[in-house]
Structure formats: C-alpha cells, structure tokens
Amino acid sequence: MPRFRLLIEYDGGGFVGWQHQRNGMSVQEAIETAIERLSGQKVRLHAAGRTDAGVHALGQVAHVDLERAWPGDTVRDALNHFLRPHPAAILEAGMVDDGFHARISARRRSYLFRLLERRAPPMVDRGRVWHVGRPLDLAAMQAGARQLVGRHDFTTFRAAECQALSPVKTLDRLAVARVGAEIRIEADARSFLHHQVRNMVGTLKLVGDGKWTPDDVGKALARRHRAAGGPTAPPEGLYLVSVGYLDDGTELSVNQE
C-alpha cells in the first residue's frame, strides 16, 4: 500500500496530546478520523514524537498507509476539510518509500520553548508561552544550558513514565536567547526522553531566577535522579518545530521567524 508522509501543525491546547486517550480528543484520533472519512479506511497513524497535552507542533511528522495512491495535495486539502473544527492542519502530504518510518527514520527533533518575562499576562499569545512574570538572568541560563549539551545520562530530566530503552541521549544544541520580552530556548537532538525538554526548561528557569547557579545544573545532571532536577515546565510554552530525516536527502521543516 502507498505510504504517505504528513507534515502537521496543531494547537496543543485543543487536544489531550498526540496519542489516543479515553478522556478526550487526541491529535492522532482527529487525523485518523479525517483519514477514514477521506478513504473509508481505519488506519493507524505513526508520529515522529508523541507530544503531551497542551504541547504545540509547527512541524510534527507522521506516516500512514493508504490503499490508493492519491495525489499529495488532494490528501492535504481533504484532510484539512475533514479535520474541522479541530485545531490541527496538514501542511504537506506526499507519498514516500515503504522504508520510511516517521519515528524510526527521524534523525533530528527540534523543539522551541517560549517564556514570557513581563509582569502582565499574555493575551495575543495566551496558551502559547509560559508566563514567568519577571526578567530572568539570560547569561546564567546560557551557562547552565552549556552543562547539558553533549552525550549524557539524562535520568535527572526523565519522566517516570518514560518508555525509552536508555536514558543516555546526545543533546546537540540547547540555545537560550532573549527576543523582546521573551526567553526562547531551542533544543535539538536525535531524540529526547519523555518530558526532557520541559524538565530542562524548568531547571534553567531556577537558574534564571537566581535560585540555582549554572554549575548546579551540571551537578543535578550528574546525580542521575529525577528528584535532583528542577520542576517540569508547563506544556503551553513548548513547540515541536521540526523533524529531520536523512532517508530522502531532505529535511522537513517549517520556516521560523
């Protein structure tokens, strides 16, 4: 059967997360239902990464096998029609090689986390940023972030429910920058542990608040125990920006400002 790759955007606030849940609409269920309305097939959609409730995606990738070799643009437009009113959209759809697997073939995941420093709560970006309400120490956060880049046992930043086989991951990039009244944290790795980005962000916020020194981040990492890390940052500031693949020589991504 023809395999299709989908590039997906969603507002995480409108879903219980990527994965099927009994207690509400998941992104997976919304798109699988739209595919059934298009094709008549009951399908299983496989994503590059399962995002939690409230976490947004600008460039999630998933694959699905359909019986017909529809034109990609037809699949995109029809799914966007059937997805209404759910806050998810198919940005691109196209046939790919049978060997492509959205999760297994992925070589890079890129996340963005936005923290709003100003005192007043966000209105235009409500549900899109973590409102921390006061300025953070950017340089200290940058120094703390440097302690996490590289190949490490990230148990300190791993959720108890994490199903990864190993806690050892290579964090390729963890950049902290100020943009207007926001701190933006960008994280790139081949893969992440469950809650790893949110737990790293929650810890770096302690550094930004002056409660931790940058060196405390490295010490917490070395402890290899979740209790040694900072709290989990809320989901609404987190975006799955893009997923990179080598298999077809291209990298699926969306432009970021």
Q: Which residues are annotated binding-site positions for substrate?
A: 111
**Total residues at the site for a second copy (CB under 8 A)?**
31
Q: Which of 4, 5, 10, 186 binds a second copy (CB under 8 A)?
A: 10
Contact status: 89 vs a second copy (CB under 8 A)? yes
- Residue 209 known to be catalytic: no
> What is the C-alpha to C-alpha distance for residues 117 and 234, in angstroms, rounded to an integer?
15
- Select 44 or 119, whichever has its Cβ closest to a second copy: 119
Q: Which of 40, 120, 163, 250 binds a second copy (CB under 8 A)?
A: 120
- The secondary structure of residue 251, as a DSSP letter, is -
> Which of 52, 77, 188, 247 is flagged as catalytic?
52
89 within 8 A of 5, measured Cβ to Cβ:
no
Contact status: 77 vs a second copy (CB under 8 A)? yes
Q: Which of 175, 222, 246, 254 binds a second copy (CB under 8 A)?
A: 254
What are the two backbone dihedrals, phi and then psi, of residue 3, each rounded to the nearest 5 degrees?
A: -100, 135
Cα 223 from chain centre = 26
Q: How far is the CB of 242 from a second copy (least distance, A)?
A: 12
Instruction: For residue 20, give both structure tokens.
Output: 């099927």
- What's the burial of 40, exposed, middle or buried (CB within 10 Å: 0-12/13-18/19+)? exposed
19: nearest Cα among 107, 144, 103: 103
The residues that touch a second copy, with contacts defined as CB under 8 A, are: 9-11, 56, 58, 73, 76-77, 80, 87-91, 118-124, 126, 128, 179-181, 239, 254-257
Q: Where in the sequence numbering do the catalytic residues fall?
A: 52
